């Protein structure tokens, strides 16, 4: 399932979400790509109908095409999916699309075709799924299960990686894919039991909520109120548009469920638990940010939610770049 919505129709920096699945091998890939609008605001090219496209807009679309072509090529050739091969391929394609003329906008923060990348490659075997998580920047990959709820599988490339502090500070990224600077593709691998849901999301989904648990609340309440994948996707579009200040994209795959109704039903208990424990609307004394006790409640809610949310998160990268 893919969800994609733009703050300004036709000018969003998020590429459309990527969803690929090879039926014979029961293997696939999902991903999202968010062009960095601040550092990539300069015009990269003008379309045939006279529309200016920013470097961020171009960067996210090129990154999506690069990941898709890399995955398909590696699959056809029977090659291993090394992070370095993705970095080289991505860097080559971004470099080939660099603007012919240099932008008049300059500064240390400026980038050519900057974009985040968040990808989950998976292969199902019996009752487990082997996962490879690949990312650059602050878009995220998650695991969602009926027992443990939402768990982060990537760690943002930002100075501050505490999910609650990030909501309050919006820290700058320390690594992002681009055409003119060195970057790296981070990688984590794990094996998870089925049934489960893997999903990737840009910060339009998780960067404008009150607490880190809110994303799970929105995901599961929209699921509870839906009778099909399409209704779930439409419900998430409505929800994210109600609170985000950015473009938003999400790609999702459910593995090991016999059908949508079974997926929804298996998350019913977790939906009630998450809402009762972590949704501010469930507590009359902390219904909004304006309530005097909201800050205290938010800190306590994050302290209770944090262990499960971070349990599978990879450790901080120690390599200096």
Percent of the chain at pLDDT > 90 equals 76
Model confidence at 320, pLDDT cuts 50, 70, 90, reads very low
More confident residue, 321 or 55: 55
The confidence score (pLDDT) of residue 282 equals 61
In 3D space, the residue among 168, 204, 171 whose CA is nearest the CA of residue 299 turns out to be 168
- Report the Cα 232 to chain-centroid distance in Å: 17
Element of type H or E holding 306: helix 294-310
Higher-scoring residue by pLDDT: 171, 101? 171
**Which residue, 16, 18, 12, is CA-closest to 4?**
16
Whether 250 contacts 17, CB under 8 Å: yes
pLDDT at 133 over 90: yes
Alpha carbon distance 49, 293 (integer Å): 53
User: Per-residue pLDDT averaged across 246-271, rounded?
Assistant: 97
* Number of Cβ within a 10 Å radius of residue 136: 28
Cα 97 versus chain centre, distance: 24
DSSP state of 123: E
CATH superfamily placement of domain 2-310: PPM-type phosphatase domain (3.60.40.10)
pLDDT-derived band of residue 38, with 50, 70 and 90 as boundaries?
A: low
Mean per-residue pLDDT for 161-183?
Answer: 94
* Distances in whole angstroms, Cα of residue 71 to Cα of each of 19, 42, 286, 297: 11, 30, 46, 44
Look at the pTM and tell me if it is higher than 0.75.
yes
Let me know: does 92 contact 86? Beta carbons within 8 Å: no
Element containing residue 76 per DSSP (H, E): helix 55-77
Average pLDDT over residues 124-140: 96
Q: Which of 174, 183, 198, 200 is nearest to 64 (CA)?
A: 200
Closest CA to 239 of 226, 252, 227, 228: 226
**What mean pLDDT is reported for the chain?**
91
Are the C-beta atoms of residues 199 and 29 closer than 8 Å to each other?
no
In this structure, of 48-57, 161-170, 174-183, the range with the lowest mean pLDDT score is: 48-57
């Amino acid at each position: 399932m893919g969800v994609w919505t733009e703050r300004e129709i036709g000018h969003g920096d998020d590429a459309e979400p990527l969803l690929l699945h090879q039926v014979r091998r029961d293997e696939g890939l999902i991903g999202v790509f968010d062009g960095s609008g601040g550092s990539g605001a300069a015009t990269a090219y003008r379309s045939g109908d006279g529309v200016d496209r920013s470097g961020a807009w171009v960067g996210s679309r090129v990154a999506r095409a690069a990941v898709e072509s890399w995955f398909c090529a590696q699959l056809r050739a029977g090659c291993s999916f090394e992070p370095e091969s993705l970095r080289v391929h991505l860097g080559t394609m971004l470099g080939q699309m660099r603007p012919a003329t240099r932008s008049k906008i300059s500064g240390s923060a400026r980038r050519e075709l900057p974009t985040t990348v968040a990808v989950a490659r998976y292969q199902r075997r019996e009752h487990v799924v082997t996962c490879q998580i690949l990312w650059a920047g602050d878009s995220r990959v998650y695991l969602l299960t009926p027992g443990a709820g939402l768990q982060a599988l990537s760690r943002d490339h930002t100075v501050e990686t505490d999910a609650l502090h990030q909501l309050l500070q919006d820290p700058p990224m320390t690594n992002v894919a681009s055409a003119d600077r060195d970057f790296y593709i981070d990688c984590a691998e794990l094996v998870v039991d089925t049934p489960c849901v893997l999903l990737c999301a840009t910060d339009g989904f998780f960067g404008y909520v009150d607490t880190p648990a809110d994303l799970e609340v929105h995901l599961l309440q929209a699921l509870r109120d839906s009778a099909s994948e399409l209704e779930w996707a439409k419900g998430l579009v409505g929800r994210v548009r109600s609170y985000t200040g950015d473009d938003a994209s999400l790609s999702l795959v459910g593995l090991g469920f016999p059908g949508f109704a079974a997926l929804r039903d298996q998350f019913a208990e977790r939906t009630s638990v998450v809402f009762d424990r972590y949704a501010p609307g469930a507590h009359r004394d902390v219904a909004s940010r304006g309530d005097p006790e909201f800050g205290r409640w938010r800190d306590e809610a994050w302290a209770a939610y944090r262990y499960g949310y971070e349990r599978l998160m990879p450790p901080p990268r120690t390599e200096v770049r």
